[in-house]
Amino acid sequence: MFKTALITGGNGNLGRLVAQHLEAIGTKVVSFDLPSSEGAHCEPRHAVVLGDMQDQSLLEDTLTAYKPDVVIHLASMLSGSSQANPQLAWEVNATSSIRLMRLCLDRNIGPFFFASTAATYGPDLASPVALNTPQWPENIYGATKVAVERMGVYLKLKQGFDFRCLRFPMVLSPSAPAGAMTAYPSHAIAAAARGDNFTMPVAPSTGMSTLYLNDVTRSIVEICSAPRAALTQHAYNLHSYVFTAQDLVEAIQSRFPEFTCGFTPGSPTDDLILRWPDVFDDRAARADWGWEPHYDFDATVEALVQFAKSQS
């Protein structure tokens, strides 16, 4: 197992869970994140570096000081903020990521894990989406992710860089950001736990390929730990289940019978999710490193309900 791991975006929701997973198996975790995330980590075994991904000197100093043997790169502007500021999104998501990969290559650090997205494929694809489906995203967020994927593979093929990549579909999280377009399942369950009504930002029949956050966390640690020779692909798709908004309402009402809900067909969120596939082909991940989701739809809902109850 790894002695020291550097996690960029390490104070975020996903980064903290990955850190906890690694710490539980004895890995020292160094979290690199924005100064605004200060205070998110309090575990005594953590080292926390506060700074911006665009600060190359700080990245160099961090790698030199802590000498990680694995880098898990999660830091990224999300889809909405990327669309609002495409130039900054390119600098943070693409340029800074490629710079970090080169710094790791120069220091012989690896594996290097990159968190990508199923949005790299673009919309309106038939399910299941195969790994070799051409990637033509229609937003800047997806474009930045494709750029980093391509450079990672280039460095892997030409210079032996240990680049590993997962493309995640919609991820459901208990602590979903309020402004996240695809976080409505978590928000709906939280509303039900408070005794509030809710309006789904999609039509009843809208759904897409989904993972629960705990499966995402585990998949990152698993692919980083897999023998390099076992990985036949440069990047892997993951998938667990598909559900519709109506499925979600029924699952909530089975636990909160008084819950009432409306829908918003034709909204921007509805249009976005309708154009995303229901299934991404994850057979390569299952064959190469034993990927298997632990959370189906019902287990995900139950986990979200229990978290919501603990907060209400």
Four-CA torsion 8, 20, 30, 87, nearest 10 degrees: 10
Q: Which residues contact 288 (CB under 8 A, 6 or more apart)?
A: 226, 230, 231, 232, 233, 236
pLDDT band of residue 178 (cuts 50, 70, 90) is: low
- Average pLDDT rounded to a whole number, residues 154-165: 98
pLDDT tens, residue by residue, 203-237? 999 999 999 999 999 999 999 999 999 999 999 99
| In contact, 80 and 72? CB cutoff 8 Å | no
Output the average pLDDT for the chain: 92
Q: For residues 141 and 121, is the Cβ–Cβ distance under 8 A? A: no
pLDDT at residue 43 tops 70: no
Rounded CA separation 241/270 (Å): 18
Question: How far apart, in whole angstroms, are the C-alpha atoms of residue 209 and residue 240?
Answer: 7
Under DSSP, the state recorded for 228 is: G
Whether the pLDDT of residue 42 is over 60: the answer is no
**Confidence tier at 182 by pLDDT (50, 70, 90):** confident
pTM exceeding 0.85: yes
How confident is the model over 291-303, as a mean pLDDT?
96
- All domains of the chain in start order, with CATH: 4-169+211-237 (3.40.50.720), 171-210+240-277+295-311 (3.90.25.10)
Phi, psi of 183 (to 5 degrees): -95, 10
CA distance 50 to 267: 38
Half-sphere exposure of 150 (CA within 13 A, CB side): 12
The DSSP-derived string for 109-124 is ---EEEEEEGGGG-SS
Who's near 182: CB < 8 A, 6+ residues apart?
170, 171, 269, 272, 273
Per-residue pLDDT of 109-134, as tens digits, reads 999 999 999 989 988 898 999 999 99
According to the model, what pLDDT value does residue 116 have?
96
pLDDT band, very low/low/confident/very high, at 40 (cuts 50, 70, 90): low
pLDDT for 69 equals 95
At 280 the three-state DSSP class reads strand
Q: Please spell the DSSP secondary structure of 168-198, one letter per residue.
A: E-EEE-TT--TT-TT-HHHHHHHHHHHT--E
What's the pLDDT score for residue 175? 80
Of 74-88, 167-181, 272-286, least confident by mean pLDDT is 167-181
**DSSP assigned state of 53:** T
Read off φ and ψ for residue 177, nearest 5 degrees.
-60, 145
